[in-house]
Amino acid sequence: MTASVALLNRLRDLTVARPRPKSIRYGIAVLTVVAVALAQSAMFGSSAPWFLYTPTVVLLTLFLGRGPGIMATILSAIGAGLVVVEADEPLLLTPVHWGASVIFTLTTLGLVVLVEALRTALLDADRLREEREQALVVTAEREAFLSGVLGSSTDCIKVLDLDGKLTFMSEGGQRVMEISDFNAVAGCPWPDFWQDAGNTEAKEAMEAARHGQARSFIGKADTFMGTPKWWHVAVSPIPGQDGRPDRVLSVSRDITELRATEEQRERFVRLAENSADFVGMARTDGGVFYMNEAARRLVGLEDADITRLTIADFFPPEQVETVACEVLPAVDRDGHWVGELTFRHFRTGELIPVLYSVFPITDTTGALVGYGTVTRDFRERRRAEDDMRLMNGELAHRLKNVLAVVQSVASQTLRGVPGAEAASQNLSARLVALGAATDVLTGSSWRSADLRELATRALSPHGRIGERILLSGPAVTLKPELTVAFALALHELATNAAKYGALSNDTGTVTLAWSITGDGDDAVLAVSWREEGGPPVTPPERKGFGSALIERSLRSYFSGKAATDYRPEGLVFELEARLKDAAITTGK
Amino acid sequence: MGQSKPIGSNTILIVEDEALVRFDLVDFFADAGWRVFDAGDADEAIAILDRHKEIRVVLTDVQMPGSMDGVKLAHYVRGRFPPTILFVVSGNVPIRDDELPERTTFLPKPFDPHRLLRQIESA
């Protein structure tokens, strides 16, 4: 069976599938008919002359086509006719033979047509089979390509039915959704995966897809294992045969990390936006490109276009140079600059005192791209400072008036009391010294007092500073609680010098010198009062309030050593205390 | 000041609204042998000055009730009675020299009247 099929196939390949040239086909047909005619006459003589021709014509037609078939039919009819020719018949053949010849010819022609149809069918079948095979190859290739694409995508690609139920999920999709077996979720309603607003969006997207529209949204959904993630989702209809939505395609991309970065960035944006301080940025050429709300409000640029402004526009003319020549170079050099400057209100021209802080803005590679500022409105602060100064002044004023009244009352009380005159004078002078100490404190808002200024105020009533009284020492700021005692002590020393010491004649001098030795907590402040050129000194027989005040009070206030040495050539008073107990130590 | 001081012209006008302080100064200068006039405000002071041309020294507080404060009074006195020795006293912040008339001394309150007396007598 298989052998005969193979033989037929080969024959068909030789003839049908690969047709020979016309001349050969017709030649073969003629030769075959001649051969059959010879075999016929040899085998059967003149009986049944058409007997072998019919199968011959059928085979010829099958293998060589219709043309050779028709020609073979005509030749066969002639060949068969020649065998039965009757010479005495007027028409060469008997009427029976004529009839048989005609029937043979017609029948055989009919067979030729049928065989030709069969042959065409065979050819068509061949072609169709080949086409189908080719189509199958193409389809297989495409399927391999598509499943490769689906499998390697990290997006979660899903196909849903029109009710939103899951029917397919890509392999990559199952991985990002942490699903090990798709059957666990197959048929589940897809919108239920989404939380909060995402759920509504998913339902709306499904509804749109049912109506043939594509949608996309960003939503939050947990993976199958419960990991919370943010997704960007595109939902689109898949049209069926009739062109109407048949199924729905949903492609979700994991944007959790992107979203986290974005959220962080947004927080920074809000930090700047919501700050009550002036926050702004400018390019290196000074062109402004960002100002927050508070900044716009402060300088009256609420709805203005800020892109044409430069840093210089924010300052009054006399400060523009400071900014250009000092501030910005300092930022380039040191990385920042902070200081008090003045802004100009763009509409009213009002000058606004501000604490201006500038720093460089760099890109991710560290290259300077501009300047940033966080600037504080200092108007309130300045007002408060002014108020404080006024109040301090008023307080000092009243205090000194009270001292003046005390001085008057004391002096009135002691006036006329026998022997009290000197005491009255001393008291009066001490109250004056107290008032002077108050002045020094008020000058610095009661916070501290500069030693040199305090000495100048306390001593200038007793002699010319720089001539009779010499001051020398570094800048030291005394603690306010020590100031009054120190001022009174200086007053006593000077009063004493004026009565008995170096200031009692026209040539003596007093040197008040102070120095700091050591560092940090161990630093020591040493103060010395040295009289020279006065009359010879003799120690007093009795220590009065003056010397008690000097030694005892200073020792106690300064938590240090204080000693008076009545040297014959001049009185020397020395005070030594830890710097941190006596002074407000600043950087210097 | 190099002008001559006629005998008996140790006359001072004290202008001070705080009575306790004023009385003490009056007594102090009186005890020191001075002829003393006193006023509680500038208007009163001007009236006295008009009547007593012999007043050589005027000591005035700055803060006072009335139309004129001590600084204005000092300027008035300097203009009207040029040789007068002027002292301006205040418990407030020191008044700058350029706000005061010429040859005027500012004294912070409280001040030492003994020192003031020595200062006047050496002038």
- Write the pLDDT tens digit of every residue in A448-495: 678 888 888 888 888 888 899 999 999 888 888 888 888 888 988 998
Both tokens assigned to A79: 């060949």
- The span from the CA of A14 to the CA of A64, in Å, is 10
- The span from the CA of A187 to the CA of A247, in Å, is 13
Give CA separation, A256 vs A5, A21, A222, A231, A416, in Å: 66, 73, 11, 7, 96
Is ipTM > 0.90 here?
no
Encode pLDDT of A29-78 as tens digits: 888 888 888 887 777 777 667 778 888 888 888 888 888 888 888 888 88
Both tokens assigned to A118: 């069969």
pLDDT confidence of residue A527 = 94
Encode pLDDT of B4-36 as tens digits: 444 447 899 999 999 999 999 999 999 999 999
Both tokens assigned to A107: 């029948």
Average pLDDT estimate for A251-268: 90
pLDDT confidence of residue A251 = 93
Using a CB–CB cut-off of 8 Å, the residues of A that contact B are 393, 396-401, 403-409, 411-412, 415, 425, 428-429, 431-432, 435-436, 439, 442, 461
Give CA separation, A109 vs A35, A75, A84, A105, in Å: 20, 12, 21, 6
In this complex, do A405 and B114 lie within 8 Å of one another by their Cβ atoms? no
Q: Hey, how many other C-beta atoms are within 10 angstroms of the C-beta on A384?
A: 11
In this complex, do B110 and A409 lie within 8 Å of one another by their Cβ atoms? no
For the ranges A83-87, A197-201, A280-284, A458-462, the maximum mean pLDDT occurs at A280-284
Instruction: Answer whether A401's CB lies under 8 Å from A384's CB.
Output: no
Segment 39-98 of chain B within 8 Å of chain A by CB: 63, 91-94
pLDDT confidence of residue A273 = 92
A and B: number of Cβ contacts within 8 A = 69
Q: Is B23 on the interface with A (CB under 8 A)?
A: yes
Instruction: Answer whether B108's CB lies under 8 Å from B91's CB.
Output: yes
Asked if the bond preceding B110 is cis, omega within 30° of 0, the reply is: yes
- The span from the CA of B46 to the CA of B50, in Å, is 6
In this complex, do A398 and B91 lie within 8 Å of one another by their Cβ atoms? yes
Cβ contacts of A421-428, under 8 Å, gap ≥ 24: A425/B114, A426/A495, A426/A545, A426/A546, A428/B110, A428/B112, A428/B113, A428/B114
In this complex, do B113 and A397 lie within 8 Å of one another by their Cβ atoms? no
pLDDT confidence of residue A471 = 94
Cβ contacts of A313-320, under 8 Å, gap ≥ 24: A313/A288, A313/A346, A314/A343, A314/A344, A315/A341, A315/A342, A315/A343, A315/A344, A316/A342, A316/A344, A316/A351
Residues of B in contact with A389 (CB under 8 A): none
- The span from the CA of A207 to the CA of A251, in Å, is 16
Both tokens assigned to A383: 């007002």
| pLDDT at A443 > cutoff 80 | no
Band (B3; pLDDT cuts 50, 70, 90): very low
Angle at A86 between CA A85 and CA A90, to 5 degrees: 110
Encode pLDDT of B112-122 as tens digits: 898 899 888 87
The chain A residue lying nearest B22, using CA atoms, is: A408
DSSP character at residue A540: -
Segment 89-108 of chain B within 8 Å of chain A by CB: 91-94, 108
Encode pLDDT of A289-342 as tens digits: 999 999 999 999 998 888 899 999 999 999 999 998 999 899 989 989 999 999
Encode pLDDT of A151-192 as tens digits: 888 889 999 999 999 999 988 888 888 888 888 888 889 988
DSSP character at residue A287: B
Rounded to a whole number of angstroms, the distance from the CA of B83 to the nearest CA of chain A is 25
How far from the centroid of its chain's Cα atoms is residue A465's Cα?
65
Amino acid in the structure at residue A44: F
First to last CA, chain B: 6
Average pLDDT estimate for A524-548: 84
Q: Hey, how many other C-beta atoms are within 10 angstroms of the C-beta on B80?
A: 11
pLDDT confidence of residue A95 = 84
When the pLDDT of each residue in chain A is averaged and rounded to a whole number, the result is 87
Q: Is B32 on the interface with A (CB under 8 A)?
A: no
Range name among A536-540, A546-550, B12-16, B44-48 with the lowest pLDDT average: A546-550
pLDDT confidence of residue A16 = 63
pLDDT confidence of residue A14 = 64
Please identify which residue in the block is written with the tokens 């048989």. Answer: A100
pLDDT confidence of residue B7 = 44
Q: Hey, how many other C-beta atoms are within 10 angstroms of the C-beta on A423?
A: 13
Give alpha helix (H) positions in A421-544.
421-443, 451-459, 480-499
| pLDDT at A11 > cutoff 70 | no
Encode pLDDT of A120-145 as tens digits: 888 888 889 999 999 999 999 999 99
- The span from the CA of A309 to the CA of A289, in Å, is 8
The chain B residue lying nearest A425, using CA atoms, is: B114
pLDDT confidence of residue A573 = 92
- The span from the CA of A426 to the CA of A435, in Å, is 14
- The span from the CA of A174 to the CA of A156, in Å, is 7
pLDDT confidence of residue B6 = 47
Average pLDDT estimate for A202-223: 90
Encode pLDDT of A108-123 as tens digits: 899 899 988 888 888 8
Helix (H, G, I), strand (E, B) or coil at A569: coil
Instruction: Answer whether A524's CB lies under 8 Å from A576's CB.
Output: yes
Q: Strand locations in A193-292, DSSP E?
A: 215-222, 228-239, 245-254, 278-283, 288-291
Band (A588; pLDDT cuts 50, 70, 90): very low
DSSP character at residue A230: E
Pick from B18, B24, B94: CB nearest A401: B18
The chain A residue lying nearest B23, using CA atoms, is: A408
| Percent residues over pLDDT 90 in chain A | 33
Average pLDDT estimate for A8-37: 78
Q: What's the helix, strand, coil split of chain B in %, to 5? A: 40, 20, 40
In this complex, do B18 and A404 lie within 8 Å of one another by their Cβ atoms? yes
In this complex, do A404 and B27 lie within 8 Å of one another by their Cβ atoms? no
In this complex, do B24 and A398 lie within 8 Å of one another by their Cβ atoms? no
Instruction: Answer whether A537's CB lies under 8 Å from A507's CB.
Output: no
| pLDDT at A406 > cutoff 50 | yes
Band (B2; pLDDT cuts 50, 70, 90): very low
